[in-house]
Amino acid sequence: MAEIVYLNGVLVPLSLTNISPFDHGFLYGYGLFETMRAYNGIIFRLERHLDRLRQAAEMLGLHSRLANFDLESACYHVLSTNELSDARLRLTVSAGEGDIVPNPTACQGITVFIVARKLTPLPLEQYEKGYTAIVSSLRRNSQSLLSRLKTSCYLENVLARQEAKAAGADEAVLLNEQELVAEGSGSNIFLVHKGQLVTPSIDCGALPGITRQAVLELASSLGIRATETELKPEKLFEADEAFFTNSIIEIMPLTRLDDKPIGSGKPGDLTLRLMETYTKLVAGYQRAQAGNS
């Protein structure tokens, strides 16, 4: 079956998709995106992804152009048309076609593109082993608006990830211009110290991740103290446990950083507890959404 995607209000075969080379998302990275995960045909916390997208679109002056798009229905139409159950979805919004000069006010309309692909979860062995990571040589500008938005200007994250892969690691930890921990190249980061959960604040250059917020809510429900604060990189090496979060990997233990073990070098008890609770959260969300359909 031909892969079907959503482009500007219409479901079309991928082979017939036509996006202008003058689109400002292509020319200048003037756009936003969301990566979401579907479980058994239910897109987890879709409403929160769309809320974050719309808030960011308002900051970039794109919000009014999105008003006529039913993004929730569009995401589900792509999922069902491709007969996908467990999937990774990517929703991209750009300023649309313009001129070769960087002038988004001259752009015509907007570009909205959604694609869904089958997702095979990482094997259980990966979670039992955990991720290895390096501290990237790149630095995040915490004073930049872009550090708080999930934009198409993603080159810094891609380069950090390539740096990690070249070093034989799974992920890279980005510091900001003050040498404070910001986030992973494609994830948020948490550490556990003396039973308390700590994560970099948004002001440090961390993206307000959907899974990050879910973990903070779970910690509150479990009576685990959680703090969003400034975090020096040496605190990671002093941590009892650490883990990464994003919508695709969920909660992934971080067991080695710069070839040094975090804690025991194995997934910690609190991390495992949060992983189990997160799985229950996803299952509960599926039941609630299925009941509302």
Distance CA 100, CA 64 (A): 23
Burial of 15 per CB tally in 10 Å (0-12, 13-18, 19+): exposed
Cβ atoms of 31 and 93 within 8 Å: the answer is yes
Beta bridge partners of 191: 198, 242
Question: Which residues, at least 6 apart from 13, have a Cβ–Cβ distance to it below 8 Å?
Answer: 2, 3, 4, 5
pLDDT band at residue 159 using 50, 70 and 90 as cut-offs: very high
Average pLDDT taken over every residue of the chain:
96
How many CB atoms lie under 10 A from the CB of residue 84? 17
pLDDT single digits (tens) 112-149: 999 999 999 999 999 999 999 999 999 999 999 999 99
Q: Does 291 score more than 80 pLDDT?
A: no
pLDDT band at residue 34 using 50, 70 and 90 as cut-offs: very high
Question: Which residues, at least 6 apart from 162, have a Cβ–Cβ distance to it below 8 Å?
Answer: none
Distance CA 254, CA 134 (A): 11
Encoding tokens for residue 91? 């929703």
Cα 155 to chain centroid distance, Å, stands at 15
Cβ atoms of 121 and 74 within 8 Å: the answer is no
Portion of the chain with pLDDT greater than 70, in percent: 100
pLDDT single digits (tens) 51-65: 999 999 999 999 999
> Across residues 30-45, what is the average pLDDT?
98
Q: What is the pTM of this model?
A: 0.96
How many CB atoms lie under 10 A from the CB of residue 121? 13
How many CB atoms lie under 10 A from the CB of residue 194? 8
pLDDT band at residue 293 using 50, 70 and 90 as cut-offs: low
Q: Does 15 score more than 90 pLDDT?
A: yes
What is the pLDDT at residue 26? 95
Q: Does 292 score more than 80 pLDDT?
A: no
pLDDT single digits (tens) 166-223: 999 999 999 999 999 999 999 999 999 999 999 999 999 999 999 999 999 999 999 9
Burial of 228 per CB tally in 10 Å (0-12, 13-18, 19+): middle
Distance CA 229, CA 226 (A): 10
How many CB atoms lie under 10 A from the CB of residue 109? 10
pLDDT single digits (tens) 75-84: 999 999 999 9
Residue in the structure block whose two tokens are 């082993």: 129
